[in-house]
Amino acid sequence: MKSLRLLILPLIVIGLVLFLALFKPVIAASPNPSGSTALNPIAQANGVTLEKKASSETVPLGQVVTFTVTIKNQSNRAIDFNLTDVMPKGLSLALQTHSISVTLGTFDNQNNTVTWSGNLSQNQTATIIYHAIPPSTAEPGETLKNVAQLKFGETTLEASATIKTVPQELGIWGSFVNFIALSLVYLDNVLRGWGLPYAFGFSIILFTVLVRVATFPLNMQQIKSSKAMQELQPRMKELQEKYKNDREKLAQEQMALYKEAGVNPLGGCLPTLVQMPIWFALYQSLTQLSHEGLLYEGFLWIPSLAGPPVGAGGIGWLWPLPPSIGWPAALAYLVLPVLLVVSQFYMQQMMTPPNPDPQQASMNSMMKIMPLMFGYFSLIVPSGLTLYWFTSNLLALVQQYFTQTNMKPATASAGTRLSAPVAASSPVAANPEENSKDTHVKSKRKSRRKR
């Protein structure tokens, strides 16, 4: 029953996340109002043809659509051209998973806009291919018109490709991941509406605080269980020495000691099991938001919460030196992973004090590599996820500190029972019958002296 009560608050928070999903229309993408409805996928003028195609007319939310823009120069001269394609609201360039390719000229992709320029000879054709994605957190059923504008000389051509978004097919787990992504976007919109800078970074921090508050009872149970186990270590050591040749008897005595002290040896597992789905879902939701172009803004010194630009090489953006993204950006991205490793080391030191058990001490030594593993993971995931980990570590350290400072010993209620072996070693309490005889003899001696 106690475990069920501890699960109530996390379930309430999950219910709130589901409730946030009902506000999709508030944050949903809407079609770009700009542009004429008369725009066609093909435009021609002065011997130059501009054509734009989409890989599909209907696109499920969260799925990639490919745009192909072609310029044909059938005039009697070469042209210098400039093409601009601003993604409409509700459509983001898929830069994390797909690259842009051109047959000639140069291109750029800043601020969710594709720009392309070059020189096109007579009777020559040039093509650019890029990819976009309607976010999973948007409302389905929107019609999005994407317009490419071409300028050469004093002539301007515009060609459009129109797509319609449809609902994506999500299972139970996919829906949970999408709800967390939706809650992050919702918090971002609220903070952005208040005029707060770095809104998405603070929305991740606020979400982390909500998760820690929701799992506070479970975390307290884990800390108390860990502290109780530590207090029982001297007794456990005695039992291990006493029954070192009888494993079955040792197991029985250990379970009797746990029962006597009111300690559940598995009490620290439930919080981790409950929180693991949240961790995995948050990781996938942040990765999803990064791939869908919604995690593009920076936070304080971090250039982008979707960065660093991780490719197939993992830490290829950092190694070999010098970093491919340049030293200033690389050092900015490295600050948070370093802080994460330091906080992880410190938290592990607080939660795993020295243990006389050789096996446990060996396991604790092996666990010291975990902060380094988290440090490596932070180099190959979006900085938004590293920000969540670091914030969660800080909150865990604060909770651990105040809990260890103010919490009474977990075995205090069983103090008289646990001290029984010590009392039994006293000469006075060792044999009650002998103590009674001694008292009787002493009283007779006193009586004789009086006579």
Long-range contacts of 101-108, Cβ-Cβ distance < 8 Å, separation of 24 or more: 101/128, 101/129, 101/130, 102/126, 102/127, 102/128, 102/129, 103/127, 103/128, 105/81
Label residue 312 by pLDDT band (50, 70, 90): very low
Is 95 in the same domain as 228? no
**Range among 5-9, 120-124, 220-224 rated most confident:** 120-124
Predicted confidence at residue 34, as pLDDT, reads 37
pLDDT mean over 107-135: 91
Judged on CB neighbours under 10 Å (0-12, 13-18, 19+), 172 is: exposed
Q: What is the pLDDT of residues 340-377, one digit of tens each?
A: 888 888 777 766 655 555 555 555 566 667 778 878 88
Q: Is the peptide bond before 41 cis (omega within 30 degrees of 0)?
A: no
CATH number at residue 73: 2.60.40.740
pLDDT of res. 158? 92
| Same domain as 152, residue 217 | no
Q: Answer yes or no: is 126 within a domain.
A: yes
Residues 341 and 195 in one domain: yes
190 with 156, same domain: the answer is no
Q: How far apart (Å, rounded) are the C-alpha atoms in residues 4 and 20?
A: 25
**Final residue belonging to a domain, choices 144, 166, 188:** 166
Q: Is residue 154 part of a domain?
A: yes
Q: Where does the pLDDT of residue 111 fall: very low under 50, low under 70, confident under 90, or very high at 90 and above?
A: confident
For 235-291, write each residue's pLDDT tens digit: 777 777 777 676 777 777 777 777 776 666 655 556 667 667 887 888 888 888 878
Q: What percent of the chain shows pLDDT beyond 70?
A: 68
Quote the mean pLDDT of the chain.
Answer: 75
222 falls within a domain: yes
Minimum mean pLDDT among 309-313, 355-359, 366-370, 415-419: which range? Answer: 415-419
* pLDDT (0 to 100) of residue 110: 84
Among 86-95, 330-339, 403-412, which stretch is predicted with the lowest mean pLDDT?
403-412
Q: Are residues 192 and 127 in the same domain?
A: no
Record the tokens describing residue 39, joined without a space.
Answer: 């725009």
User: What residue type is assigned to position 53 of the chain?
Assistant: K
Which of 148, 166, 184 lies at the terminal end of a domain, its last residue? 166
**Is residue 259 in some structural domain?**
yes
Mean pLDDT of 45-54: 92
Q: Are residues 185 and 301 in the same domain?
A: yes
Q: Are residues 111 and 88 in the same domain?
A: yes
Q: Which of 53-67, 194-208, 242-256 has the lowest mean pLDDT?
A: 242-256
Q: Could you tell me if 184 and 121 lie in one domain?
A: no
Same domain, 180 and 276: yes
Residue 144 in domain? yes
More confident residue, 37 or 446: 446
Residues 325 and 179 in one domain: yes
> Could you tell me if 161 and 184 lie in one domain?
no
The answer to the question of residue 213 being in a domain is: yes
Domain membership flag for residue 310: yes
Domain that includes residue 56, residue range:
42-166
Helix pair angle (199-214, 172-193), 10° resolution: 120
The answer to whether residue 440 scores a pLDDT higher than 70 is no
Question: For residues 82 and 104, is the Cβ–Cβ distance under 8 A?
Answer: no
Q: Give residue 266's pLDDT.
A: 57
Same domain, 224 and 83: no
22 found inside a domain: no
At 20 the pLDDT is 46
Q: What is the pLDDT of residue 272?
A: 64
Q: What is the mean pLDDT of residues 306-331?
A: 75
Q: What is the pLDDT of residue 127?
A: 94
Say how many residues make up the chain.
451
Structurally, the chain folds into a number of domains equal to 2
- Asked if residue 301 has pLDDT above 70, the reply is yes
